Amino acid sequence: MLTLRFILKNLSRHKLRNCLTVVGIAVSVLSFGLLRTTVDAWHAGVEASSATRLVTRNSISLIFSLPVSYEERIRGVEGVEIVSRGNWFGGEYIDEKNFFPNFAVDARTYLELYPELLLPDDQKAAFLRDRKGCIIGAKLAARFGWKIGDPVTLKGTIFPGNWGLTVRGVYAGRDKGTDETMLLFHWDYLNETLRKTSPRRADQAGFYIIGITSADAAASTALAIDARFQNSLAETLTETEKAFQMSFVAMSGAIVAAIRIVSLLVIVIIMAVAANTMAMSARERMGEFAALKALGFGGGYLARLILGESLAIAAIGCALGCGLTFPAAAAFGQAVSQYFPVFQVSALTVGLQGASALVVGLVAGIVPALRAQSIGIAEALRRIG
């Protein structure tokens, strides 16, 4: 109890200096949390992937399509339960700054493959009935103020023209990592239009999504599918949905690595600031340390006082930084929602924030604590003034 009273008393000695140190730690913890959350957001699609879904695409590149006739042949592979086809549509709403992911998919099989897209039964039925209907995520609906029944016109980039759609449903995500910024419409609508305007581009799928019986069969099923189309005009590459998503993350691997390095540098910088604060505080109290040692308090007790003060400053800064992380992440996530559909602070991030603040407190206080523990009474008194 006496030790705690000493620590609290010492915290109030240099209010401005300690407050600035606390604010510095809080800002660093907040910055570290936002940077870590940005990295998590980059990997959100990977984390949301299912172990029982495979993706088949053209082995050359995703920009090359596959014949629609492949669907039945894939369905005949052992271990395959359900197959859906789709195309990245890449349409723009009004202008290019209003970017959001939009896909043409085989609606019935796609919704079966993605049970995490929660859509009311009446909206699902309306979507399946309307060839020009579409469904949108809840975040996308909130962004543009769209409601069920509203017309939406996408300006095609990959598939030129103005594509008129009608909102027939708004889905919500079952899980926190589910993307709620997508627009999905019927692949048949796209294909029928292409048959009239660009016959050579019709009856082609950009990718196939495959539901398999077991995650353990993923590797063997993928090999069997690719073997079926070996030496064909359009050879395939089949991989797990997680590996497929990781291929996109890998394209920006240097950026992710840079963000991680910056997050660590932030902690190192504030560690130096906190260490300087504790060194100054210990140097100013050499006379007190000498008096306490003369009264019989051991070096270990003095070390605990200094470490306790350092950890207390770090803990207050950490609590403030962690508390600010959630509203800051919500505001930042709203601002970048078109680039990061999922931007949420994870429990791991909060844990790392706490661990980083603990390290800062320990490192900042360890040297002054050891110095106070080992210094003699006479030497401490000579340093006064």
DSSP letter string, 11-43: HTTSHHHHHHHHHHHHHHHHHHHHHHHHHHHHT
The token pair at 344 is: 């949420």
82 band by pLDDT with thresholds 50, 70 and 90: very high
Contacts of 161 (CB under 8 A, 6+ apart): 155, 193, 197
User: Does the pLDDT value for residue 302 go beyond 80?
Assistant: no
Task: Tell me: pLDDT of 133 over 90.
Answer: yes
Assess contact for 313 and 11: CB atoms under 8 A: yes
Q: CB–CB of 179/41 below 8 Å?
A: no
CA distance 355 to 37: 16
Give whole-number Cα distances, 296 to 111, 125, 162, 303, 304, in Å.
75, 82, 86, 14, 15
Amino acid present at 151 = P
Range among 69-73, 176-180, 310-314 rated most confident: 69-73
The residue-averaged pLDDT of 247-269 equals: 74
Max Cα distance, the chain (Å): 97
Q: Please enumerate in sequence order all residues whose Cβ is within 8 A of that of 381, keeping only pairs 6 or more positions apart, or say none.
A: 286, 287, 290
Average pLDDT over residues 263-281: 75
Percent of the chain at pLDDT > 70 equals 83
Mean pLDDT estimate for the chain: 84
Where does the pLDDT of residue 383 fall: very low under 50, low under 70, confident under 90, or very high at 90 and above? low
Q: Is the pLDDT of residue 380 over 60?
A: no
Given pLDDT bands bounded at 50, 70 and 90, which one contains residue 22?
Answer: confident
> What pLDDT is attached to residue 238?
94
> Hunting for tokens 């070996």 — which residue is that?
230
Q: Which residues contact 95 (CB under 8 A, 6 or more apart)?
A: none
